Amino acid sequence: MESDKRAQILNQAKKKFERFGFSKTTVDEIAKDASISKRTLYQEFENKEKILEELLMFEALSVRKAILNQISKITEPAEKLQTYIRLANKYLEQNPFIVNILNDESGFFSPFLKEKPHIVETGIEEIFTSILKEGMEKGVFRKMDEKVVGHCLFVLFKGFTYGRQNAHNPSGPNQTNEFINFIMSGVIAR
């Protein structure tokens, strides 16, 4: 099976998972929507859980690449940090299924996703740390332990975005601006 066929399976699975939820979606439905046989699907993916696992990592890597591509064009670390927060927040607002996986309070996804959500979150934290380090090197951000502050930013970002109690109530531009202003007041060199 070609990699575009695999991507087609993931795309159809994402649509089904978002619309009907993981539990109510069957492998038969995914195969049908991807215009392949169930047998062909099972040749690529051991089970529905493996589809979800790959989908999570595919989505995380795709959005990471897209956001890093956009912020790499920005030379000013403060602007880079603000843009990263806005882009990541926008992505999470537009992808409620991924939010549900990352904010798995019930532990439903834990048995088969294992460390995958943690890997995604570590990637987010690493981007914060990298931007902070760049900002310190350029003298824009105050001296700090970028790993500690990067972790703190991640925890705040998680709470502001997908870790909220009411994740179905997206933040508006005012809330996002307040969040960014709060973060910037803590990292900008005086």
Strand, coil or helix: 123: helix
Contact status, residue 44 vs residue 2, Cβ threshold 8 Å:
no
**pLDDT at position 2:** 56
Q: Judge whether residue 26 has pLDDT over 50.
A: yes
The pLDDT tens digits of the residues spanning 95-126 come to 877 888 888 878 888 888 989 999 999 999 99
Q: Judge whether residue 168 has pLDDT over 70.
A: no
pTM summary value: 0.86
The DSSP symbol for 142 reads P
Helix H or strand E encompassing 164:
none
d(CA 61, CA 166): 26
**pLDDT at position 169:** 59
- HEC-encoded secondary structure of 31-46: HHHCCCCHHHHHHHCC
Average pLDDT over every residue of 131-148: 97
